Chain A
Amino acid sequence: MSLRSKSITGIVLVTMLLLVFGTTTCKRKASDPKFQKFQGPSGTSPDSLFHIRVRPKWHPQAQFAGFYMAKKMGFYENYGLDVEMLDILPDSEAVLSIINRETDIINIDLLTALSMNRDSTVVLNIGQISQKSAVRLVGRKSRGINSVADFNGKKLGLWRYGSNLISQAFLAEQGIKMEIVPIDWSINLFTQNVVDVINVMQFNEYHQLLQAGIPEDDLFVVTMDSPGYNIPDEGLYVSPEFYAAHPAICKAFTEATMDGWTFAFTHQQEAIDEVIAQMQKAKIRANPAHQAWMLAQMQDIVLAKPDRLGILTRNDFDNALKIMRKMGSDIRGIAYEEFYPLVAQ
């Protein structure tokens, strides 16, 4: 209950801040000199835009509304960028594509990025979109899951890659032993009662469960926002080489993307329409109600620290390292400033 009431308070505060922020952002598009301050290496003509390849974490959905709106509203162009959105890849392959210079910027979780840097620095953070964890563990009360203790000995549907480390760390600390069933994206193992507990994102699968006819009051939900586990999820990553060559491009991309997010939050219907258009273009399921839910949740997540919009905080970085080490990872001691070089600018 205390976790939920904190969330509600947070949502209220963020909404109030967003109203102030949103109004200034609306004006910014037309008059803020920020949109003209970066002119790219060779001016602002279409031919002189800096081509940059971005690989999002997943198929088109409101989780990436900031990218779509920044592109649609010309924010990237204002920063001298010509952004190309690439097809999705599993996180490990996405990192590989960075190494192979097939991708310039990828969008992966903080813990995944740190784990990729275990032996050597392969990716650097240039922007932190998520500011709080959206990871949840849910079970059905009607199937006897009424507390974390009830998880013991049950089957857990856990993502086979991506944001699975927090859940594992949480269960380990709670002393809960579960049979892990690695899953991709489907919630059907849970709806068909094949697994008892499933790892979901608040902005996505959690709502899919509701839309699959599971009453919200039948769900027992564990929220990963207690101290030490509230590790923000997705951020923007580049290779050290790319950053060394184009630090200003990296900064411009992050700023344009966050402008896209703030625009999306202040023009939600417009953003949802664009997301649906992108989904239809990709020929995947488009469900307006779900995308509206997702955008609202993303607003809560992205604006969780309104004064740190798009910034990876030292505290979150340190907590992420602690979690990894607690889980037995022999990650080397990478410094915050090295991992997030934009902090120096």
Chain B
Amino acid sequence: MSHNSEDRTLAYQLISFVFIAMLLVFFASVLVTRSIYKKIILDTQLDNMRHLAHERVYLLDGIMANVEALGRVSLDLMSNPQISSSTFEEHLKNVLLDNPTVHSICYVQDPEDGGRPQMLNTIRNSFIKREISGKDFLYYDWYQIPTISGKAGWIEPWFDGEGKGVLMVSYAMPMYQSGEITGVLRFDIELAYLQELLIHNASFRVGNSFLVSSTGTLISYQDPNLVMHQTLFSLAQEYDDPDLARLGYAMVNGEMGHIFVNGGSPMARSWIYYHPLKSNRWSVAIAIPERDLMASVNIILWIQTLASIIIFLVVAIILYARAVNVSKPLRTLAIAADKIGSGDFDARLPVSDKSFEISRLTDSFATMQQSLKDYIANLKTTTEEKEKIHGDVVYASEIQTNLIPSNCPHPLDIQELRAYGILEPAGDIGGDLYDYFMMDEDHFCFVIADVLGKGIVAAMAMTMVSTLLPSIAPYHKSSSELLKKLNIFLCRNNVEANFITIILGVLNLKTGELQYSNCGHVPMIIRKIDRSFIRYHETHATALGVFENLEIGSDTIRLNQGDEIILFTDGITEAMNDQEELLGTAGLEEIISRLSNPNPEETAKSILNAVHDYARGSSHKDDITILVIDYKHPGLIQDTNRA
């Protein structure tokens, strides 16, 4: 997954992380703030609504109580037999003129005896009295309710078609005479007057006030289309709003409290406080839409949001500037690091004291730069020395190679013999050796040896052996004598005390008699012309170069026609495959048993190839040396083994 490099800059990451953190904190802050403010404002506004509702209730109750009092006084006058009808009417006239609240007064006496309702009101301070015709009034609420119940009370707003033709709110009182109801006295207030009071006459304005009657009818409301047309229950039904129905039941039951109305009605999403009137079963309500209630909260939240954005921008700019400033030496350092990586160890590192961490990093880079320079200088010197040593080693290897006899069909031009040798050092130079030479006219000496260890020291030891043996051989006729001399020489001159395993054989070319000594070396194998072979595992002493007074024995055998002497070092038997399993003597014998007709070159190469195949995949390496000598003497008698 790849990222835009701009996305990974320090400034970008700092700002983005800060932004996310601030965003989370901001949202949490807004939610908590809104919740707290909403509760505080709601509590405050409910208090305001309560005060306002109480104010309206006191106002309406005051008006109604005044009308009720006027009514009771008038009723008392009417019931007084000493008060004439003209005096009574004069009283009512004064009531109307002195109390503009009272829109009209109506009274009816003895309707069963033909009494007609007398309607009294004033128009521009003129007193007017007229009689209502017909008998329909007998079935009006204002007449029926007081006469049937026998009690005075406020009746539901009604349309006074026989009066001014407007909606009236009436206080109707039964008139008694001798304990019998003989008529009704009615005081009217124009509904519009109360509506006007509710809407405008308030000490402070909070929300919208409305008034409902005892049946839940909207008597006063901001939308005149609903007034007297709708009840809270009809609105609840029309808008399928149970909250409105709950409000309606609470109000018509004379309860006091507040409710939140949801739904889709004209009062939707409003807080409504309601309070009953004392005069009748009406109820005043104050409604505040939640959006108005939350308006101030929303302003605060907007300000908070704006402030948060400004704070974020300021913080972002500061962070960006600082991050760019701080990361500038880092970029310079990165460029310098690239130069150092490409080999310019003298590249100049930035100097910064703006950040402790970056300063430490620069110092570390400087230390690393110096260390690299020193290391490279040392490496250069070492490499030069190594190359020089390597050159010496190569030269030594050439010398060592030259010490080994070159392969030719008949060694030393001796026709009875064929020999083939392979020396494959593990490194540039090795510690193995094979050699052959004539001790005198009849005796052919061959040797194969392995110096413990590798490298220069082993090669030097080998060189000593290969130069010493030919030089002292003419003075010794037996292999054991010769090896004793060699052992003494090695013990005295071998500084590193490397010991050497060796097989040295002396072959009498005339008799085919082979005297040999094996000092700690791997066995010699003689392969017969019939492809059988004999392994000579006897050793005649331990390895040379350790004990100066070492006793060395020997054995003598007689070679038959076509016998093939196979000599090798432990690099053959200790070859490992990829499972780290040794080839071993048994493995070598298996290889030898599969060889074709005796031929020193073929035999040596076949063995070497087989060993290579076996060791393929293995990291183990050792010097490998093979020497195969084929002896053919026509005078020898077949089938004679040992002397």
Contact = CB atoms under 8 A, between A and B. Distances in A.
Contacts of A143: none
B249 A213 contact: yes
A181 B148 contact: yes
A114 to B, nearest CB: 24
B139 A184 contact: yes
A72 B462 CA distance: 135
Contacts of B139: 160, 182-184, 186
Interface stretch (A145-153, A163-171, A248-256, A280-288): A280-288
B229 A192 contact: no
B141 A186 contact: yes
B215 A194 contact: no
B301 interface: no
Contact of A211 (B141, B148, B233): B233
A220 B216 CA distance: 21
A48 interface: no
Interface in A194-250: 194-195, 210-213, 215
Contacts of A187: 215
Contacts of A289: 234-235, 237-238
B248 interface: yes
Contacts of A212: 215-217, 231, 233, 252
Nearest to A290: B234
Which interface class (under 10, 10 to 19, 20 to 34, 35 or more) fits A?
Answer: 20 to 34
A188 B156 contact: yes
Nearest to A187: B215
Contacts of A53: none
B144 interface: yes
Nearest to B141: A188
Interface string B111-152: 000000000000000000000000010011100110011000
A192 B234 contact: no
A56 to B, nearest CB: 19
Contact of B229 (A181, A189, A285): A285
B228 interface: yes
B195 to A, nearest CB: 16
Interface string A272-285: 00000000000001
Contacts of A194: 144-145, 148-149
A184 B234 CA distance: 22
B173 to A, nearest CB: 15
Contacts of A195: 148
A102 to B, nearest CB: 19
B174 to A, nearest CB: 12
A213 B238 contact: no
Contacts of B141: 186, 188-189
A263 B231 CA distance: 29
A181 B141 CA distance: 12
A289 B238 CA distance: 5
Contacts of B140: 184, 186
Contacts of A215: 249
B87 to A, nearest CB: 33
Contacts of B101: none
Nearest to B213: A212
Contact of B144 (A183, A210, A211, A286): A183
B228 A213 contact: no
B272 interface: no
B145 A286 contact: no
Given A182-B139, A194-B148, A285 B155 contact: no
Contacts of B216: 211-213
Contacts of A160: 139
Contacts of A181: 144, 148
A42 B41 CA distance: 75
A283 to B, nearest CB: 9
B232 interface: yes
Nearest to B212: A213
A189 B233 contact: no
A215 B250 CA distance: 12
B252 A188 contact: no
Contact of B230 (A184, A189, A287): A287
A269 B186 CA distance: 42
A181 B139 CA distance: 9
B144 A189 contact: yes
A293 B238 CA distance: 10
A213 B148 contact: no
B181 to A, nearest CB: 13
Contact of A192 (B145, B217, B237): B145
Contacts of B463: none
A243 B229 CA distance: 40
A290 B235 CA distance: 10
Contacts of B235: 289
A210 B145 contact: no
A162 B477 CA distance: 167
A187 B229 CA distance: 15
B262 interface: no
B214 interface: yes
Nearest to A184: B139
Nearest to B146: A194
Contacts of B148: 155, 181, 189, 194-195
A191 interface: yes
A211 B244 CA distance: 12
A160 to B, nearest CB: 6
A155 B141 CA distance: 15
A213 B252 contact: yes
B154 to A, nearest CB: 10
Interface string B215-226: 111000000000
B215 A188 contact: yes
Interface in B513-559: none
Interface in B184-238: 214-217, 228-235, 237-238
A191 B231 contact: no
Contacts of A213: 215-216, 231-233, 248-249, 252
Given A285-B229, A287-B229, A191 B214 contact: yes
A192 B214 contact: yes
A90 B144 CA distance: 19
Contact of A288 (B144, B155, B238, B249): B238
Contacts of A189: 141, 144-145, 148
A41 to B, nearest CB: 40
A178 to B, nearest CB: 13
Contacts of A182: 139
Contacts of B136: 184
Q: In the complex, which of the residues B136, B141, B232, B248 has the most CB atoms of chain A within 10 Å of its own CB atom?
A: B141
A132 to B, nearest CB: 24
Contacts of B248: 213
Nearest to A183: B139
A285 B157 CA distance: 13
Q: In the complex, which of the residues B139, B216, B235, B249 has the most CB atoms of chain A within 10 Å of its own CB atom?
A: B139
A210 B232 CA distance: 11
B156 A211 contact: no
A194 B174 CA distance: 14
Contacts of B156: 188, 191-192
A141 to B, nearest CB: 16
B141 to A, nearest CB: 5
A293 B234 CA distance: 10
A155 B155 CA distance: 19
Contacts of A211: 215-216, 231, 233-234, 237
Given A212-B215, A212-B216, A290-B234, 12 more contacts: A181-B148, A183-B139, A188-B215, A189-B148, A191-B215, A192-B149, A192-B153, A194-B145, A211-B233, A213-B232, A287-B231, A293-B237
Closest 3 CB pairs of A and B: A212-B215, A289-B238, A213-B252
6 contacts: A181-B144, A181-B148, A191-B215, A213-B216, A287-B230, A293-B237
Interface of B: 136, 139-141, 144-145, 148-149, 153, 155-156, 214-217, 228-235, 237-238, 248-249, 252
Interface of A: 155, 160, 181-184, 186-189, 191-192, 194-195, 210-213, 215, 285-290, 292-293
